[in-house]
Structure 1
Amino acid sequence: MSVAVASASAPARKALWKNLGVQVVIAMILGTLVGLLFPSFAAQLKILGDIFLRLIKTAVAPLVFLCVVVGVVSAGDFKRIGKVGLVAMLYFEIVSSIALGFGLVAGNLLGIGQGMSATTAASGVKPPSAAGAPHSTLEFILNIFPDNFIGAFARGELLQVLVIALIFGAALLHLKESKRLPIERGLNAISDAFFEFIHLIMWVAPIGTFGAVAFAVGSSGTAVLLSLIYLVLSFYAVVIAFIVVVLGGICAMFRINLFSFLAFIKDEIFIVLGTASSESVLPRLLEKLPTYGCSKQSVGLVLPTGYAFNLDGTSIYMSMGILFLAHAYNVPLDFSQQLGILAIMLLTSKGAATVSGGSFVVFAATVAATGVLPLEGLAVLFGVYRFMSIAIATTNVIGNSIATIVTAKICGEFDESVLARTVREEMA
């Protein structure tokens, strides 16, 4: 009798096919099959992925603004904000440098690009122009500060939106409480509405994933994939090693179960794998990480900042891409030259989120800045960039999520009881 009552009161498990992660995986498989079997038709499905990403991007900048402003006001003073920001920036610089070095070491050991010079003319696809990329430290710093309040949102300049949000939050703190509280409540209500907006868009995530994957496979074809398969597989292997060894080591230091956390954000990982865009899950992570134990203030400040300053996947891609070009075109780079290029990449990798075109455009700017590597090789790498960008975006998302948790723990912004409650609910 008691067993019957217990079973009746237990919540019914959601059907497996209703799980968003499962739907995205199925969409990826179907997209791959359509791309291989019907390449001409698949190349036209790019519009499905583009529509999904456009819808997501409409909410990214406003959500970042709202989360940061609310976080600043909730913190109540800049000492707390300053501590979180300082710790986060130190963490970003250290881990980004490790990622760049990790990519250089792996590229040298694996010998990527050696013996592949015959494939340099295989791709006729022209890479995007790198003219908009920051070419100097002063230009990069200037680009952080907006010249137009609305323009920063319209262009999707996350760094500029962060600056606006911090100043706006500071302005609210200077208001009298009677004036500030109604504005704060209004911002919270608008933030909730934007999260619901994202939930509705996520219903079409599998369709967007299907279109994006079908286009990538159908438009590139097997010839490009076969000619550069060693580079692609090597990159994926290095990325996995970085996540397990480097990020896993960081997690162990701060008592974070890496694989348990990856399971916690598995839906977001599947979405990124399908869309090859880290922006597609930023709104979901802003909502989800507080349920893992991080304070909303730390998540709202650290996570969006990490999207500009903590691009681990981009750093590894740039390091390995540089060595691929050097090997493929027989350009010798000694240890001191590689260190010099690493210093350049420490600057240019920070511009990936502020330049239209993302990681590849910034990589192109880095190649041009070296002055010794052939620009012709960019067309070859651009042919498989779509496939490598999947691993780049996934690593960026995992790295930024872990950075947020680590920063929250260091700054006392992490609540173990919230994590314990979430774990119990997941197991129920």
Structure 2
Amino acid sequence: MTQQSEIAGSPTVERHACAKRKPPIYLRLGFQIVAGIVLGLALGFIAPKLAVDMKILGDIFLRLIKMVVAPLVFLNVVLGIAAAGDLKNVGRIGLRALVYFEVVSTIALAITMVIANFSGVGTGMHLAQNAQEAAAAHAQYGKGASTTLEHFLLTIFPDNFIGAFANGSLLQVLVISIGLGAALLMLGDQQRASVEGALNRMSDLFFKFVDVIMKFAPLGAFGSIAFAIGSSGMNAVISLGYLLLVLYLSLAFFVVVVLGIVLRLYGFNIFRFLRYFKDEIFLLFATASSESALPRFFDKLERLGCSRQATGLVLPTGYAFNLDGTSVYMPLCVMFLANAYGIPLDLHQQLGLLVLMLLTSKGAATVSGGTFIVFAATVTASGLLPVEGLPLLFGINRFTSQAVCICNAMGNSVATLVVAKSTGEFDPNAARNEYQRVFGTPIGKVI
């Protein structure tokens, strides 16, 4: 009895108990990010001029994140292909992913176009086109925005290895990664093992680097939110409040209902899935940039049971070809401009715009404002809508980006899970153990 008491009170047991004990709430990243958001909101309303100056904090954090995104995507795709073992397996995963991307993106566009027609966003604004404003808006947003199939295809393929990373072109980095991954599979076993080992060590190093950068996430969240409120106040929100309301409800419907049904078919519960990624969702909301949480999604999806090859191939490819939030945003804003300027769009024109949006939404930048850039490209390329309406939407771009990037990230996380399960690249025991570790409760059949 005495011996058992001694063992129970031994330093080893106490150390294990301390290791399992959760850190204080104020030391958790999620709490710190939320605190940064709240303080940023308060400063934006109390001292708007000072809040605008805080933009530098958000910009610095996003620059740090952008710095590591391209190398992380490169390393994860190459290692994902290497882990697949052969090009046939890579093609099997990639083909299923692309089919899934196109089906879900089309569903998002079609559903939102219907919502946009019935909601009547922009109706009653009676805006008139002004030649001077049109020219200024076109000069600011329309430059280089014209999108053709030829131009789109050319932008996919890089003409400079280093330039693709320097410019942060995700599509070009993907092309390089896929090509280099295929070349890696063609090497002899000894050469391949040494190269793969080096890439694995580099990947581990970059993830540790991300952990260091994430220490600054609360400051980035504080600066970004303070600037958004301090620069725009509530005027933009009130004037375009209905559009924001419809957009947020549409994005919530897509995530909870559409993605919820998809997850249910594969044995997952959408609400538990969202809870698992709650810290990343807070970070996305604060920074309005999908890139800010991308490294953490790589790590968490692997811990949730998705294999490295599935995660490394599907997740970064999804950020180029499966931007569900962007697909919800674009039809609503198209119909908003059409209704605001009294431009009737018949069924044929709307279908044509859907096809155009299916093209222009590919490769949308994952940085803050990327969705607005591809929307400007769509407006310019369509020739149907007034470009002078773009600054109007740009005024609330910060608030729309916050919700859109969350939907983009959740859509790609679900896509990774679905493709992993459908291709046998998923470990259900790992998923159950991870949920058990995070939530601390027994997991049922639907996890």
Specify the alignment match of 1:205 in structure 2.
Answer: 217
| Max Rg structure | 2
For the pair 1:291 / 2:291, whether they are aligned, the reply is no
Of stretches 198-207 and 257-266 in structure 1, the one that deviates more from structure 2 is 257-266
Matches of 2:332 and 2:321, distance apart in 1: 19
For the pair 1:83 / 2:92, whether they are aligned, the reply is yes
For the pair 1:353 / 2:365, whether they are aligned, the reply is yes
Shift of 1:287: 1.4
For the pair 1:166 / 2:178, whether they are aligned, the reply is yes
Specify the alignment match of 2:404 in structure 1.
Answer: 392
Check the 8 A contact 1:132/1:355 in 2, yes or no.
Answer: no
Shift of 1:357: 5.0
Amino acid at match of 2:103: I
Specify the alignment match of 1:64 in structure 2.
Answer: 73
Matches of 1:286 and 1:136, distance apart in 2: 32
Amino acid at match of 1:56: I
Specify the alignment match of 2:118 in structure 1.
Answer: 109
Shift of 1:5: 4.2
Specify the alignment match of 1:242 in structure 2.
Answer: 254
Specify the alignment match of 1:414 in structure 2.
Answer: 426
Amino acid at match of 1:199: D
Q: Secondary structure at the match of 1:190?
A: helix
Shift of 1:119: 10
Shift of 1:225: 1.7
Specify the alignment match of 1:27 in structure 2.
Answer: 36
Amino acid at match of 2:206: F
TM-score of the superposition, structure 2-length normalised?
0.91
TM-score of the superposition, structure 1-length normalised?
0.95
Specify the alignment match of 2:277 in structure 1.
Answer: 265
Shift of 1:356: 9.6
Amino acid at match of 1:92: F
1:39 aligned residue (41, 48, 51): 48
Gaps of 5+ in 2: 441-447
Shift of 1:320: 0.2
Specify the alignment match of 1:401 in structure 2.
Answer: 413
1:135 aligned residue (128, 144, 147): 147
Specify the alignment match of 1:254 in structure 2.
Answer: 266
Amino acid at match of 1:96: S
Q: Secondary structure at the match of 1:129?
A: helix
Q: How many residues align?
A: 427
Shift of 1:368: 1.4
Q: Secondary structure at the match of 1:372?
A: coil
Q: How does 1:273-312 map to 2 (within 5 A)?
A: 273-312=285-324
Over the aligned positions, Cα root-mean-square deviation in angstroms equals 2.2
Shift of 1:283: 1.0
Matches of 2:173 and 2:396, distance apart in 1: 32
Shift of 1:133: 3.5
Matches of 2:146 and 2:310, distance apart in 1: 28
Matches of 2:126 and 2:423, distance apart in 1: 50
For the pair 1:145 / 2:151, whether they are aligned, the reply is no
Change (3 A) 1:214 1:270: same
Of stretches 274-283 and 221-230 in structure 1, the one that deviates more from structure 2 is 221-230
Change (3 A) 1:409 1:216: same
Shift of 1:222: 2.1
Shift of 1:13: 2.0
Check the 8 A contact 2:289/2:367 in 1, yes or no.
Answer: no
Shift of 1:147: 0.3
Change (3 A) 1:421 1:213: same
1:317 aligned residue (318, 329, 344): 329
Check the 8 A contact 1:31/1:211 in 2, yes or no.
Answer: yes
- Runs (4+) of structure 1 exceeding 2 A deviation are 1-11, 116-121, 123-134, 353-357
Over residues 105-149 of structure 1, what are the superposed CA-to-partner deviations in whole Å (9 max), with x where a residue is unaligned?
A: 11112111011236999x999684233336111211111111000
Amino acid at match of 1:315: S
Matches of 1:134 and 1:197, distance apart in 2: 37
Matches of 2:312 and 2:232, distance apart in 1: 38
Q: Secondary structure at the match of 2:384?
A: coil
State the percentage of identical aligned residues: 52
Amino acid at match of 1:97: T
